[in-house]
Amino acid sequence: MEKILQKQWEERDKKLYKAVIFKDFQEAFTFMVRVAFLAEKNNHHPKWTNEWNKVEIWLSTHDAGNVVTEKDRNLAKEIDKLLEPSA
Ligand SMILES: C[C@H](O)[C@H](O)[C@H]1CNC2=NC(N)=NC(=O)C2=N1
């Protein structure tokens, strides 16, 4: 996937937050489809927004009282793997 800007994960407001900007909507939506499959596999789902080429993601664990847990850190790592240049 062709990225234009990728920020590192930040912990904000008891959530892991990341923003990624892609070349266009098709690239952004391809990424979202891949994240959706990861989320289903992990039974752990992001809060996210998409506007054209930008995807913003917030990860927290509702089941643990809306805090950041290992589940969030693991999903964040797997999402980053999708964003590696070789992926
Ligand atoms: C019942 C179901 O397994 C849970 O509600 C799962 C589903 N996906 C989830 N996703 C996230 N981000 N946090 C959760 O606590 C969570 N819980």
Q: What is the ipTM of this complex?
A: 0.88
CA of residue 47 relative to chain centroid, distance: 9
Q: Quick check: pTM over 0.80? A: yes
Residue with tokens 């952004």: 28
User: In 3-state terms, what secondary structure has residue 17?
Assistant: strand
15 lines ligand 1 (CB under 6 A): no
Distance (angstroms) between ligand 1 centre and the Cα of 71 equals: 10
Q: What is the pLDDT of residues 6-65, one digit of tens each?
A: 999 999 999 999 999 999 999 999 999 999 999 999 999 999 999 999 999 999 999 999
Q: Is 61 in the pocket of ligand 1 (CB under 6 A)?
A: yes
Q: Rounded to an integer, what is the distance from CA 7 to the centroid of its chain?
A: 11
What separation, in Å, do the N-terminal and C-terminal C-alpha atoms of the chain show?
A: 8
Beta-strand pair 10-12/3-6: unpaired
